[in-house]
Structure 1
């Protein structure tokens, strides 16, 4: 008998995860239940063959794992109704800025709680998923959660929850930094004389290709950079602008620091 999952909230992120779990064969449709008040989103989930309900009040039993994928501002209204399942279920939260202490306060200090920070590429199975577990989570539950989340991208774990603010600043918010770099590279291409459509294609494919090469290569990114940089060549001329007095490094560090500080503020 497979493990059962209740997904609370089936918006874009929740639906993408659910669809990935089922498509990869990690979760059978019959073992999944979606709690979603929005009729249209319920219908979308039901099309995957899962059980759907408007409210947790319609459920008689819990599940092995209960995943919260709702907006952070509503969690104190939503989560208390699930406290009755805390004896047997492991809870997984994909809410930004909501610590395990909040869930322990709502669900009980003996509740098994995992906190996950995904990012938007998870919607196409290429996300970065970072997990933290409280002391009550079993090894079996950790393995199951990692197996499920791996269908949305790469999974890693941290042992210190305070690092979640840094995780948020690097990978949680990180896709927006890359999107903006693509915007900037596109604009620079246009300024250099390229048609807008061509400039955007070149910028997007270059970022995609370089990231793919960096991930698949055995070489460190710094080594790959050196390999493509001929002495006194065009790449060297451009890199001298980025790297002079650590200009780009300092800019990115300042940006990540700003995001980390904001994450800490939002978590208070």
Structure 2
């Protein structure tokens, strides 16, 4: 008995050690990238960077204020389109998808999850940009929403499946309609996981550049309407990084750092919301 207990403790300690090593291996690249971007971009951050428009080529100064606002605008448009449809599809697959239609929807969701983002940009360019007669924030938001949609769908589906069936059965036994059981009991139970999935989807689309080049395109000025090209941090970082100007390259690092901080703030806000709930 003692030998068996000792053997189990050795196996437990070994697995804990392996888990610790795996965690370190996963975190080292993350902190390495963040530290490198921080050292490169921190000294290029100043008040003008957050309040001024990009400077003309070859001139010093300027900032990415329009790109920061544009990024929040595109994320808002994408979330407004992709999150509700993703949640509704996830609910359907989890609660009503045990049929042929559900299998078809699940199959195409998996395909959409693996489609390269640049392909999404080309498709939206063909069906939205050309139809509207020009690049726009709407087109960029639609492209990012398509990228968000399958991720939110899969997260919602999996989180709802983790809710025990006896909770559903208890609500149905009390005579509550199934749709109310889902909305008032099942969804709140899976709220934390669903919100985490949404934030991961937001984090993914926040750094997308390729689809925005085909849809929102970019703008060196303030956008007065959502139906015209709009600036975004990923596109500005891309354009500045390939430029021959040292000041633009420095601002590209600052833009990358700002983009990371935006994602961190959004995730921290979501975590704070969850803790208050």
What TM-score, normalized by structure 1, do the two folds share?
Answer: 0.28
Higher share of residues assigned strand: 1
Which protein, 1 or 2, shows the higher relative CO under an 8 Å CA cutoff with sep ≥ 6? Answer: 2
Which has the larger Rg? Answer: 2
Higher share of residues assigned helix: 2
